[in-house]
Amino acid sequence: MQLKTLFLGLGWLSVCWAQLADTTDYPIGPLTSSSTKWAKKVCDITDYGAVADGATDSGPAILAAFNACSSGGVVNIPLGTFALATWVTLNGGSAWAINLEGIIVRTGTAGGNMIYIEHSTDFEIYSSRGEGAMQGYGYQFHEQGEYGPRLLRLYDVTNFAIHDIALVDSPAFHLTLDTCNQGEVYNLIIRGGNEGGLDGIDLWGFDIWVHDVEVTNKDECVTVKSPANHILVENVYCNWSGGCAMGSLGTNTDISKVVYQNIYTVNSNQMFMFKSNGGNGTVTEVTLENFIGHENAYSLYIDAYWSSETLAAGDGVLYNSITFKDWTGTCLNGAQRPPLYVLCPSTQPCTNIIIEDFAMWTESGSTEYYKCADAWGSGYCLKAGSAHTEYGTVTSTVTSAPSGYSATTMPGQLTAGLGLTTSIAIPTVPNTFFPGATPATARVYGS
C-alpha cells in the first residue's frame, strides 16, 4: 500500500493532510504477498528440531528455519506450545515471513530480546489463524523485583508488517520498532503487568502506521520517540495503561508530521503526554485528534520538566505547531491534577499550540482547573500573540461540566492491573479498538 494513497483514503481533515502531503510515494508494508511467500518455500520449525512440548528449546530450530527461508519463504511455527530458552537474532533476509500459529513461551532467563530481527526487508510476522502468541511469563521476574528480556524487537527493518498476534506478559518491553521504516502494525493485543518499564509499543523511524491495537500495562501504550517523522497512530485502546506519549525527549530531538487519532484511554496515567527535561531540538506538526478518556490521572499533558527524566543539556525541546482537537470524557480528579496541563520550558516557550473542543470533566468533586506555563497559541489557558517569550503560569478554574463531555465506553474495560505475581492469560485479539470505528484491515483468518 502506498502511504500517500493511505492518507488520502482515511478522509482526514485538511490540517492532517497538510502536515503529511509532502510524503513521497513509498510503499508501506511488505512488498511481496503472503501467498507468494508460501508458494516459494515453507520452513517449518519442527523440521529443524523444534518440539511442541513447552520444554525443548526452539531457539536453534527457529534460526535454522530462518536461514533456510531468509531469501524468500515462510518460517512456520505450527500449532502447539514451543519453549524459547535461548534468544534468536534473525539478521538480514528479504521477502520472508514468520507465521506464528502456536505459542512461544519463555523458559530462558537472559536479558536482551527474545526475538530480534535486524537489517531485514519485506518482512511479516503474523498468525494466519489469529491464535499465535508470545508468552513472556514476566511475573516470574517481577515478583522478584526484577526485569528480564523484551519480547520482540525490530531494528533497521523496512517494508514490514506485524499483525494478528498477542504479546503477553513481557519481562520488559513488549514491541520495539527501532529505526524502522515503511511498516505497519495492526490487529494486535498486548497484555502486560501493572508496573512501569513494561512498554507496549515504542517506535522511531519514518512512514509507520500503527492502528487497531489494544494495550494493557502501566507504562507506554503507543509511544513515538526521536527521531521520527510521518507517523500515523489510530484506533488504539489503552485499557489500563500508562497511556500514549511522545518521549522521553532529550538532546537533538527531531520529530515531525505525527498524527494520533481515535485514541481511547481508560484507567491510565494519561491520555497523551509529551515528556522532556531540558534537551534541545524540535517537535513540530503534530495532531492529536478525537481522544476519548475515562478515569485517567492526567489527560492532555505537556511536561517539559518531567522529573522522572535526568536533566539533559540544552535550553529545552521546542514544541511547535501542535494541535489538540475533539477531546471528551472524564479525568479521575480534576482539582488534584488538571486535565489540561501544558508546562513548557521557560527558556524555550511552546509556540503555535492549538487546543479546540476540549471537554473533559472530573469523576471526583465538582471543580477542575487548567494550567498553562510559557505556552503560546490559541484556546483555553494558552497565551495568544507572537511574542513567544517566557511569561510564567496561567491557571483557570472550571466549576461546571463542559458541554459535550459525556463519551461512550468500550467493551472489556479492565478494573484492575494485571499480574506481577501470577501469570497473565493469553487473550483473543479483539475486533474493535475505538467506539464506532471499523478496523482498517480485516482479520487474516483463513488466509
**3-17, 86-100, 342-356: which range is least confident on average?**
3-17
Share of the chain above pLDDT 70, in %: 94
318: left (phi over 0), alpha (psi -120 to 50) or beta: beta
**In whole angstroms, what is the distance from residue 315 CA to residue 260 CA?**
27
- Give the model's confidence band at 15: pLDDT under 50 very low, under 70 low, under 90 confident, else very high: very low
**In whole angstroms, what is the distance from residue 247 CA to residue 302 CA?**
11
Q: Do 241-408 and 1-227+414-439 have the same topology in CATH? A: yes
The ranges assigned to domains in the chain are: 1-227+414-439, 241-408
**pLDDT, greater one: 11 or 365:** 365
CA distance to 18, 160, 230, per residue, from 4 (Å) = 12, 17, 11
Q: What is the pLDDT of residue 25?
A: 66
pLDDT digits over 335-373, tens only? Answer: 999 999 999 999 999 999 999 999 999 999 999 999 999
- Give the model's confidence band at 303: pLDDT under 50 very low, under 70 low, under 90 confident, else very high: very high
pLDDT digits over 106-164, tens only? Answer: 999 999 999 999 999 999 999 999 999 999 999 999 999 999 999 999 999 999 999 99
Mean pLDDT across 314-343: 98
Smallest Cα–Cα separation from 304: which of 287, 317, 285?
317
| Cα separation of the two ends of the chain | 18
Share of the chain above pLDDT 90, in %: 92
Among 169, 199, 207, 219, the one annotated catalytic: 219
**In whole angstroms, what is the distance from residue 185 CA to residue 134 CA?**
16
pLDDT digits over 204-232, tens only? Answer: 999 999 999 999 999 999 999 999 999 99
Mean pLDDT of the chain: 94
Q: Is the pLDDT of residue 5 over 90?
A: no
Burial of 221 (0-12, 13-18, 19+ CB in 10 A): buried
The structure's pTM equals 0.94
Strands (E), 127-252: 133-135, 150-168, 175-191, 201-216, 220-239, 243-249
pLDDT digits over 366-416, tens only? Answer: 999 999 999 999 999 999 999 999 999 999 999 999 999 999 999 999 999
C-alpha cell of 247? Answer: 518521549
Mean pLDDT across 50-65: 98
pLDDT digits over 166-213, tens only? Answer: 999 999 999 999 999 999 999 999 999 999 999 999 999 999 999 999
Residue 4, H or E segment: helix 3-9
Q: Is the pLDDT of residue 23 over 90?
A: no
Q: Is 3.40.190.150 the CATH number for 1-227+414-439?
A: no
pLDDT digits over 233-284, tens only? Answer: 999 999 999 999 999 999 999 999 999 999 999 999 999 999 999 999 999 9
**In whole angstroms, what is the distance from residue 45 CA to residue 33 CA?**
21
For domain 241-408, the CATH superfamily is: Single-stranded right-handed beta-helix, Pectin lyase-like (2.160.20.10)
C-alpha cell of 401? Answer: 461540566
Q: Is the pLDDT of residue 424 over 70?
A: yes
Q: What is the pLDDT of residue 445?
A: 73
Confirm whether 219 is a catalytic residue. Answer: yes
Residue 94, H or E segment: strand 94-100
Among 212, 294, 374, 388, the one annotated catalytic: 294
Mean pLDDT across 301-308: 96
C-alpha cell of 169? Answer: 506478559
Mean pLDDT across 16-29: 56
